[in-house]
């Protein structure tokens, strides 16, 4: 009996990750290719289809072994698979991603926001441990998020639910965000936010700091300096953790998930960040929430997106 597989795609503005994944969530093969955003991204869909066909041929896998294609992409979607906006891909608004890829491959396609796919991946095979109520927060260049309730992604009226990075955590004198609001979580809990907090403190005081010896520094440098007891770096990490813990407490009080999963590059700071966030979460969370919602680090790394995209197809087949 031939094994049924799922083609999973994590479509990013720079690189596209593709994988064949079995129904147990195990990656059989994965690879990545540059995303061609030239000419308004008109070759992206064709390139993805060609990559899948080429890999099938290379591995001597029949196309009828593929149950379908799950795709995570950076933008909000309609229920019919139309991408409302795709700034990083060059596409026009209301881009029919699902319909076009189905036309190219002749396979069922399901599409979802990439942060939502990461949440689904962590729910299925990662830190969520199968929990059906989960929030996933990704701390990278920005702050993204996905909300799962009763095993289903919460999309909202316009597909924009889960925009955790744009929760306001600084109501006065907040930093300006790329979304043009001020005081967003993204401005203080992303990699750039941590650097911003440290830079602001360096300007506000003349205290010695390891960070002053660097012409420029990253969030990783800030966390490493904090581990060494650097006062300014510690201040920045504490503020980041405080804002993040506050935001997560609001999510906890509203949703009471089984678990809040923290992923992305900033999460590599590990246990020191996690413990600080937990302390602030416990300070602000409603007691029943504090006692029932746990906060853990993500475990899937950059595989979360493709595993979550595969879940879209698995779930659909489980319901048939």
Biggest CA–CA distance in the chain, Å, is 70
Question: Contact at 8 Å (CB) between 114 and 10?
Answer: yes
pLDDT at 86 over 80: no
DSSP string, 71-112: EEESS-B-TTS-BS--TTTTPPSSB-HHHHHHHHHSS-EEEE
Which residues on adjacent β-strands are paired with residue 7? 20, 69
The whole-number average pLDDT for the span 149-166 is: 88
175 in Cβ contact with 183 (< 8 Å):
yes
Helix axes 231-255, 219-227, angle to 10 degrees: 110
Q: Could you tell me where the beta strands, DSSP code E, fall in the chain? A: 5-11, 15-22, 27-34, 66-73, 109-113, 134-139, 143-149, 152-153, 259-263, 294-297
Q: Is residue 261 scored above 90 in pLDDT?
A: yes
Q: What does the pLDDT read at residue 2?
A: 65
d(CA 211, CA 240) in angstroms, rounded, equals: 17
Token pair recorded at residue 102: 């189905």
Parallel, antiparallel or unpaired: strands 143-149 and 134-139: antiparallel
Please tell me the class of the 127-299 domain.
alpha beta
3-state secondary structure of 148: strand
Give the mean model confidence (pLDDT) for residues 28-38. 95
Q: What is the pLDDT of residue 320?
A: 45
CB 135 within 8 A of CB 142: no
**If DSSP states are collapsed to H, E and C, what string results for 35-61?**
CCCHHHHCCHHHHHHHHHHHHHHHCCC
- pLDDT, tens only, 95-126: 999 999 999 999 999 999 888 999 999 999 99
Inform me whether the pLDDT recorded for 78 exceeds 70.
yes
* 13, 44 contact by CB (below 8 A): no
CATH 3.30.420.40 residue ranges of the chain are: 5-114, 127-299
Instruction: Please report which confidence band the pLDDT of residue 319 belongs to, taking 50, 70 and 90 as the band edges.
Output: low
Q: Are 312 and 112 in contact (CB under 8 A)?
A: yes
The model carries a pTM of 0.85
pLDDT at 42 over 80: yes
| pLDDT of 1 | 44
Average of pLDDT values for 214-239? 93
Between 1.10.3720.10, 3.40.470.10, 3.30.420.40, 3.30.360.10, what CATH number should domain 5-114 receive? 3.30.420.40
Per-residue pLDDT at 131 exceeds 80: yes
Count of C-beta atoms within a 10 Å radius of residue 272 = 14
The residue with greater pLDDT, 85 or 189, is: 189
Q: What is the SS3 assignment for 32?
A: strand
Mean pLDDT of 168-182: 91
Residue 161: both structure tokens together: 């639910």
């Amino acid at each position: 009996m031939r094994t049924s597989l799922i083609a999973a795609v994590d479509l990013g503005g720079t690189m596209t990750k593709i994988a064949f994944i079995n129904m147990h969530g195990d990656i059989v093969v994965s690879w990545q290719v540059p995303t061609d955003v030239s000419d308004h991204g008109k070759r992206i869909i064709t390139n993805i289809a060609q990559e899948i066909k080429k890999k099938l041929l290379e591995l001597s896998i029949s196309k009828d072994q593929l149950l379908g294609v799950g795709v995570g992409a950076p933008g909000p979607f309609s229920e019919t698979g139309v991408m409302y906006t795709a700034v990083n891909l060059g596409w026009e608004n209301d881009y029919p991603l699902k319909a076009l890829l189905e036309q190219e491959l002749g396979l069922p396609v399901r599409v979802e926001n990439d942060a939502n796919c990461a949440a689904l991946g962590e729910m299925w095979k990662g830190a969520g441990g199968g929990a059906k109520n989960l929030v996933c927060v990704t701390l990278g260049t920005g702050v993204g998020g996905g909300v799962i309730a009763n095993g289903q992604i919460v999309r909202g009226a316009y597909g924009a639910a889960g925009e955790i990075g744009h929760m306001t955590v600084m109501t006065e004198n907040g930093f300006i965000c790329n979304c043009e609001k001020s005081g967003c979580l993204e401005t203080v809990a992303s990699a750039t936010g941590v650097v911003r907090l440290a830079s602001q403190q360096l300007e506000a005081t003349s205290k010695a700091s390891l960070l002053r010896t660097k012409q420029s520094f990253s969030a990783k440098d800030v966390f490493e300096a904090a581990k060494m007891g650097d006062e300014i770096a510690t201040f920045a990490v504490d503020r980041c953790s405080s804002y993040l813990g506050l935001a997560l407490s609001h999510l906890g009080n509203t949703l009471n998930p089984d678990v809040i999963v923290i992923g992305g590059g900033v999460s590599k700071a590990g246990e020191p960040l996690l413990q600080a966030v937990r302390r602030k979460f416990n300070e602000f969370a409603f007691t029943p929430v504090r006692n029932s919602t746990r906060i853990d680090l993500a475990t899937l790394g950059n595989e979360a997106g493709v595993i979550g995209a595969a879940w879209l197809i698995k779930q659909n087949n489980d319901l048939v």
